[in-house]
Amino acid sequence: MHERAGTRALPEDLIDPVAVVDAYYQRTPDVDDPAQQVVFGTSGHRGSSLDGAFNEAHIIATTAAIVEYRRSQGIDGPLYLGRDTHALSEPAWRTAVEVLAAAGVELRVDARDSWTPTPAVSHSILRTNGAGTTGGVRIAGPGLADGIVVTPSHNPPRDGGFKYNPPHGGPAGSDVTGWIAARANEILRTGVGAVPRVPVERALAAETTRKNDFLTAYVDDLANVLDMRAIAQAGVRIGADPLGGASAEYWGIIGERYGLDLTVVNPQVDPRWSFMTLDWDGKIRMDCSSPSAMASLLSVMQPADGGPAPYDIATGNDADADRHGIVTPDGGLMNPNHYLAVAIEYLFTHRPGWPRDAAIGKTLVSSALIDRVAAGLGRPLLEVPVGFKYFVPGLLDGSVGFGGEESAGASFLRTDGTVWTTDKDGILLALLASEILAVTGRSPSQLHTELVDRYGTSAYARVDAPATREQKARLAALRPEQVAATTLAGDDITARLVEAPGNGAAIGGLKVTTDNAWFAARPSGTEDVYKIYAESFAGPEHLARVQAEATTVVDAALRD
C-alpha cells in the first residue's frame, strides 16, 4: 500500500494532456518490440502513447483490421463508435472516424459529440440487431450492427484503449481479437500510410456518417430493466459519482427523466483527473471498487462531524461506466463480491418474468458465496473463466439471467427475460442498489449480512507475485497433474482446475479447491506478475495460510 493511497492527487501526480496527445501523433511504434505491438487483452488493446504502445499508427492499423474483419464476416450494418474521457480517447476516436469513413462504413457517432459509456454502445448495437422485439437478436445475416469503444476503462490517465464489440453486442472473443491484432500488426509492419483515410471534418459530413442519440435511447429504456417507479416513490436519496468518466452527463438526465432524488456528486471532467484520490499503489486509477480511489465519495458518506450521511445510496463508475461501486451509510464501500451475491439473491426473487431455468453466471475467481446463494435459490451456476465475453451467449438467449465478475462488472436481463446488454453495465448495477433499498427497505449491506448469517462468512483477497514472461506462459499452460500438493491449508484438495466447469474453456491458469477454501492463479496480461485470488470460509488467518501455500504450489509447478 502506497503511503499516500487514498489522499488527493498532487500536481506532480498529474499527466500533461498535451504531451500525451502530442506523443500519440508524433511517436512511431517499434513493431519489433512486443510491448509496442497491438495486443488485445480481455477488454481490448491498451497502452500509453508515451511508451509507444497507443499511438496513431496503432489505431489506424487496428481500425483497418476491423474493417477487413467486418467484410470477411458480411457485417454491413452500422458501426456504433463511442469514447470515454481519457486524453487519448478523442484523438483515437478521430483517427478511427477517418479510417471508417474512407472505407465506406455506415458510421454512427454520438449526437451530442460527447462521451458514450460502454453499456450504451452495447445497448444500441443490440437494439439495432433486434433486442426488445418479438424476433429477438440476430447475430448473422445482412444489416447487422457492431461497435467500437475507445476506452482503457479504469486505467490511469496516461493510457488509451480500443475495444471491438461484434453484432452480439459484447466483448469480442479471443478468436476475433486474435485475428484483428495479428492483422493490425501486419499493417503496422507494411506501413499504415497505405490505409485510406479522409480528413475528420469530411468524414463526419459523409453520407455514411450519422448521429445517434445513445443517451436518450439508453435512458428511456431503463424502465424495462429496472423498477424506476419504485425508486422514485420510495424517495431514495442517491449520490452518483461518475469519477470524471463517460457517465457524467447520463446521471443527471436519469434523475430528471424518472423523477429521482439524485445528485451528481462530482460532475467535473478533467483528463488529468486532478480531483481523484490515489489508488493503493499511488497511481490515479478510476477504480470504483477500490476504497483508496473512492476515498472522496466515502468521506462524503461519512461526515467528519459524525452527522448523518447525505445519501441513502452512493455509487461510483469507472471511466467508461462498465463497472460499479456501491456505498451505503451502514457498510461503506461494498466488496464487489458481496454486492454481486446480494444482487443475485434479489433479482432471482424479484423477476417473475425471467425464465425459470435461467442460470447465474460468475467468473471462477468470484466468491464462493455466490455458489451457496445459487444453491439456495435452486438455480444452475455457470462458472466461467475471467472475461465477460463468456456470459454473452447466455445473456443473448436468456439462459443466463445474471452475469458478474469479481472486478465489479455485471449485467442482467430485462424484466421480461430478454437481453439488455451483453457488456458490463455499471450504471445499471448502481441503480439496482437503489431499487433493492426501495423494494426491500434494507440496504445491500444489510442484505449481505443476512446472506452470511445464512451461508457463512468468508475472507477474500487478491495478491500479486512476480513472474517473468516465460513463467506467465507456463502458468497459462499448466496441467492439473503438475500440482503435486494433496492438501491446502490443512484441508484435502477436492479439485485442480485448468478449465472452467461452466463451459470447459481454458482458464489460462489454475484453480485449486477444498471444502472450505480455494485459490486461483492466473498471469497478468499487462504486467510481469501473476495474480492469486483466494477465499476461505474459515477466517482471515486461514485465508493467509491459503495464500501462502498457493504461492508455494504455483512456484513449484512453474519450476517443474
What positions carry a catalytic annotation?
Answer: 153
What is the C-alpha R_g of the chain? 23
Report d(CA 531, CA 524) in Å as an integer: 7
* Strand partners of residue 534: 461, 519
Residue by residue, DSSP assigns 30-57 as: -TTSGGGS--EETTEEEEEGGGTSS-HH
Instruction: Give the closest residue to 109 by CA, choosing from 215, 12, 10.
Output: 215
| Cβ proximity of 413 and 398 under 8 Å | yes
Amino acid at 9: A
Instruction: Give the closest residue to 151 by CA, choosing from 200, 92, 96, 216.
Output: 92
Amino acid at 452: V
Residue by residue, DSSP assigns 284-315 as: ----TT-TTTTHHHHHHHS-TT----S-SEEE
Instruction: Give the closest residue to 359 by CA, choosing from 343, 349, 348, 368.
Output: 348
Instruction: Give the closest residue to 43 by CA, choosing from 211, 201, 173, 210.
Output: 173
Q: What count of Cα atoms within 13 Å lies in the side-chain half-sphere of residue 231? A: 27
Query: Angle, nearest 10°, between helix axes 214-221 and 118-128?
Result: 80
Q: What count of Cα atoms within 13 Å lies in the side-chain half-sphere of residue 235? A: 1
Beta strands in 376-528 (DSSP E): 381-384, 400-405, 409-412, 459-466, 487-488, 491-492, 495-499, 506-513, 517-523
Angle at 372 between CA 370 and CA 378, to 5 degrees: 100
Amino acid at 381: L
> Grid coordinates in use for 105?
462504413
Report d(CA 450, CA 163) in Å as an integer: 39
